Structure 1
Amino acid sequence: MNAMLAATIPLPAILDQPAPIGPGRRHCIDNFHLTAASVDRFNALLARLGRRAAPLDCDRLATAARELRDGVAGTGEPACILQRMKRLEAAARMLDDNQWEPVDEAGNVAALMVHYATGRYQLLPNSLPTVGHLDDAIAVEAAWPSLQEEVASFLDYCRIRSLEASLRGRDVGGFGFSRTDWEEARQAEYWLDRQRRCIRERSYLPLREARFLVH
């Protein structure tokens, strides 16, 4: 959880730079050929998810993929992609939990993001070494500002629900525990922690009155 919600590991900066003037030179990642039509469809998805940067093109995507490959050893995925895949996994867990009710548009944005990442029609095949999930990471990046607070709340809900299950001697999910229950439990946890800090910082015993001694 900490790694997922910590400071974001940046994706290649080329992805947020203005499109170059004139046609780009690169259209391939390994033997996979990017097409303008597929990139346009991906840009439409990113706009729905919340991306406000300049639309992507084949050249910048291919350049970003090459930069990521140059920065890792072997065929392992770069840290920036792994971090966003963890965020994607957390959002998918949130959607699958029938006791959690996302607020505002977070549920719709998460569903759109997860549907793309798990669907058949993706910009890049997941089988591409090192960068097969680059498009998924870019989609998560676009959606994350709308999801970060909600996902953090859901993960804390899971933590408190697990504690509650332990206290009850029940399996997680084996009893009703709503968002309202989580909010009440979190408030109680806050006041308990505040009371404990007060106890550490001061004594319940009254201060002794000053004594005057006559010499």
Structure 2
Amino acid sequence: MSIEVTFQLSDADLEHFRHLMTTAIANAAKLPEATIKQKAAQAIAEMSSDGVPEFVTSRVASLEALLVMLDDDTWKLPEEERQEVLTSLAYFSEPEDLVPDHIPVLGYLDDAIMIELVVQDLSANIEAYKEFCEFREKEMARRGVEISTEDWLASKRMEMHTRMRKRRSERRGGRIFSRVF
């Protein structure tokens, strides 16, 4: 039998967690990128292991996507966004958690909250990257060639233009107007 426990963090509560993130970022600024990525990967592996509560493991995929996007040469994450992702992963390179992980179940509560904050802050990046990966996989299987971000963006542009034409047509009741000059 499982139970559901729901709680809401106030702005003051969130400010406390953001302060912890800011402290972690300041500490991580001294670390090389490789170290942050390695420690974040270790934290992800630990949070994916048996015995970790589902409320944590269900959030780890988004954190993992951030780590993977950093090393995806095809994605070519702009430097400013790359730094945002790295600083967001900084908390997970901190050896000391707010709640020590060895405390059964509750030890990962702070990690789940931090993942949630990171995902909120970087949700657009995560969504775009996941969408790009799905497009790349589908197109590589279909065409058998490498797919670039430019290919994906061209596809997105075509989708947008198709939607615009469809909306325009719907507004006109399906009538097509032609200009006579």
Establish whether TM, by shorter chain, passes 0.5.
Answer: yes
Counterpart-to-counterpart distance in 2, 1:48 and 1:155: 29
Counterpart-to-counterpart distance in 1, 2:68 and 2:83: 14
Q: Which of 4, 7, 26 is equivalent to 1:12?
A: 7
Structure 1 residue 184, shift from structure 2 partner: 0.8
Amino acid at match of 2:152: W
Q: Which residue of 1 aligns with 2:96?
A: 122
Counterpart-to-counterpart distance in 2, 1:11 and 1:103: 37
Q: Which residue of 2 aligns with 1:157?
A: 132
Compared with structure 1, are the counterparts of its residues 49 and 103 closer, same or farther at alpha carbon in structure 2 (3 Å cutoff)? farther
Q: Which residue of 1 aligns with 2:31?
A: none
Deviations 1:127-186 (A, max 9, x none): 44323332322322333343111111111111111122012225xxxx2513x3221122
Q: Which residue of 1 aligns with 2:35?
A: none
Q: Which of 84, 88, 91 is equivalent to 1:109?
A: 84
Amino acid at match of 1:77: P
Counterpart-to-counterpart distance in 1, 2:6 and 2:140: 39
Q: How does 1:34-113 map to 2 (within 5 A)?
A: 44-47=19-22, 77-79=53-55, 81-103=56-78, 105-113=80-88
Compute the TM-score of the two structures, normalised by the length of structure 1: 0.49
Structure 1 residue 114, shift from structure 2 partner: 2.4
Q: Give identity over the alignment, percent.
A: 24
Deviations 1:63-105 (A, max 9, x none): xxxxxxxxxxxx66153x3443232122112222122133574
Compute the TM-score of the two structures, normalised by the length of structure 2: 0.56
Amino acid at match of 1:121: P
Counterpart-to-counterpart distance in 1, 2:163 and 2:138: 15
Unmatched 5+ stretches in structure 1: 1-9, 19-39, 51-74, 203-215
Amino acid at match of 1:90: A
Amino acid at match of 2:63: L
Counterpart-to-counterpart distance in 2, 1:127 and 1:142: 22
Larger Rg: 1
Amino acid at match of 2:53: E
Tell me how many residue pairs correspond in the alignment: 141
Q: Which residue of 2 aligns with 1:186?
A: 156
Q: Is 1:177 matched with 2:148? A: yes
Compared with structure 1, are the counterparts of its residues 192 and 16 closer, same or farther at alpha carbon in structure 2 (3 Å cutoff)? closer
Unmatched 5+ stretches in structure 2: 26-50, 175-181
Please give the secondary structure, in 2, of the residue aligned with 1:116: helix
Counterpart-to-counterpart distance in 1, 2:157 and 2:85: 27
Compared with structure 1, are the counterparts of its residues 122 and 97 closer, same or farther at alpha carbon in structure 2 (3 Å cutoff)? farther
Amino acid at match of 1:138: I
Say what the alpha-carbon RMSD is for the aligned residues. 3.9
Q: Is the 8 A contact 2:139 2:147 kept in 1?
A: no
Greater fraction helix: 2
Q: Is the 8 A contact 2:100 2:107 kept in 1?
A: yes
Please give the secondary structure, in 2, of the residue aligned with 1:132: helix
